[in-house]
Amino acid sequence: MKKLEYVGPKPLISHRGIDFDKNQDDKFNVLPVLIELIKALDHDYFEDKQYTFEAHPKELSYTELMQNLQHYCPHLEDLMQVETSHVENHMQDEVVRIGESQTLNTEEKEIFKNNLKIMHDYLLQFALNQAVYNCALKKLAELVTKDHIDYINVPLFQKYAYVLHNLQAILKEQQHPIDTQLDFIEKDEKVIAQLKVINLI
What DSSP state is assigned to residue 25? -
Work out the pLDDT band at 42, boundaries 50, 70, 90.
Answer: confident
AA letter at 59: E
The number of residues making up the chain comes to 201
Predicted TM-score of the model (pTM): 0.89
Residue-level pLDDT at 198: 85
CB 132 within 8 A of CB 79: yes
Across 179-189, average pLDDT: 86
Is the predicted pLDDT of residue 5 greater than 90, yes or no? yes
CB of 69 closer than 8 Å to CB of 76: yes
**132 three-state secondary structure:** helix
155 vs 161: CA distance, rounded Å: 8
Residue 190 parent element (H or E) = strand 190-197
Cα–Cα distance between 25 and 118 in angstroms, integer? 19
Give CA–CA dist 95/162, Å, rounded. Answer: 34
Phi and psi, residue 151, nearest 5°: -160, 160
9-to-29, 62, 96, 115, 129 alpha-carbon distances in Å: 10, 20, 26, 16, 12
Q: What is the mean pLDDT of the chain?
A: 89
Residues 111-123 pLDDT 10s: 999 999 999 999 9
